[in-house]
């Protein structure tokens, strides 16, 4: 993002949606990836543990969370490209809070912190899904 379009990111960014809206969005995504689904390589979602997400959110200056879509190119010879979701903390000015880059030539508008964390390695669905069951919220 260029500095000219940078906008503050409030801690309450985002909005909750209904279950029906969620199901429609997810169905649309699944329908767009029907070929991957038939080959058994379709990833519907990623699950991240509460402890890891809270650790990411509890970093200094963090007011939000940004989720990047990623793609791990075949590294084990099976020809499958693995979908990834990469989570990073974001400050109130919209900067990613990242550890310093190994190569200064990469350049970034991201805010660098030596102790910053980047979260990946979520558990993919359908392998780690509930199978369609739901649990009502506890009061």
Structure tokens at 42: 């379709």
- 30-79 pLDDT tens trace: 787 766 555 566 777 888 888 888 998 999 999 999 988 887 777 677 76
Q: What is the dihedral of CA 109, 81, 133, 122, to 10 degrees?
A: -40
Residue 93 located in a structural domain: yes
Examine residue 37 and state whether it is found in any structural domain, yes or no. no
Q: Which residues pair with 68 in a beta bridge?
A: 86
Domains of the chain: total: 1
> Can you give the C-alpha Rg of the chain in angstroms?
18
Number of neighbours of residue 83 by Cβ within 10 angstroms:
18
CA distance 104 to 61: 23
Domain containing 48 equals: 43-125
Position 85 pLDDT exceeds 60: yes
Instruction: State the residue for tokens 């809206």.
Output: 21
Q: What is the pLDDT of residue 105?
A: 34
Q: Flag whether 9 is in a domain.
A: no
């Amino acid at each position: 993002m260029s500095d000219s379009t940078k906008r503050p990111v409030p801690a309450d960014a985002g909005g909750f949606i209904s279950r029906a809206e969620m199901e429609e969005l997810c169905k649309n995504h699944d329908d767009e990836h029907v070929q991957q689904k038939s080959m058994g390589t379709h990833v519907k979602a990623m699950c991240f543990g509460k402890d890891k997400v809270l650790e990411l959110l509890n970093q200094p200056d963090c007011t939000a969370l940004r989720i990047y879509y990623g793609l791990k190119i075949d590294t084990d010879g099976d020809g499958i490209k693995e979908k990834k979701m990469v989570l990073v903390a974001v400050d109130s000015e919209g900067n990613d809070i990242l550890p310093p880059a190994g190569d200064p030539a990469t350049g970034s508008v991201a805010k660098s912190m030596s102790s910053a964390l980047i979260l990946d390695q979520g558990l993919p669905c359908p392998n780690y899904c509930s199978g369609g069951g739901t649990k009502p919220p506890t009061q």
